[in-house]
Amino acid sequence: MLKQLGDGCRDKPARDDATNSRILKAESKLDAAIVKACTGIDPTNLGFPGGCPDGTGPPFSLDDLRACIRTGYEQQALEAVNLAFPPP
């Protein structure tokens, strides 16, 4: 996938079915881990929303936390790709 992005495919999806399947599986595992670890916990007691957007408005919910973590990881991955393959 990184090679595809580095070969000038930045503006086109670079995922195939196998990659999409692995990404969906990883997202599902992440969601399950967050639910298992955080059910019954008020995220605001942990300092959230902090820098996380609260798309649903107060109170900051477990779904908001999952969205924040997922978005954060996606942003970090994009930044890593941009370091390895700087945009033109």
Q: What is the pLDDT of residue 52?
A: 87
Q: What is the pLDDT of residue 13?
A: 57
Residue 78 neighbours by CB distance under 10 Å? 11
Count structural domains, the chain: 1
Range of the domain at 76: 2-84
pTM of the model: 0.63
Each residue's pLDDT, cut to its tens digit, for the chain (88 residues) gives 444 444 444 444 556 788 778 888 988 998 899 999 999 999 888 888 888 888 888 888 888 888 888 888 888 888 888 888 887 7
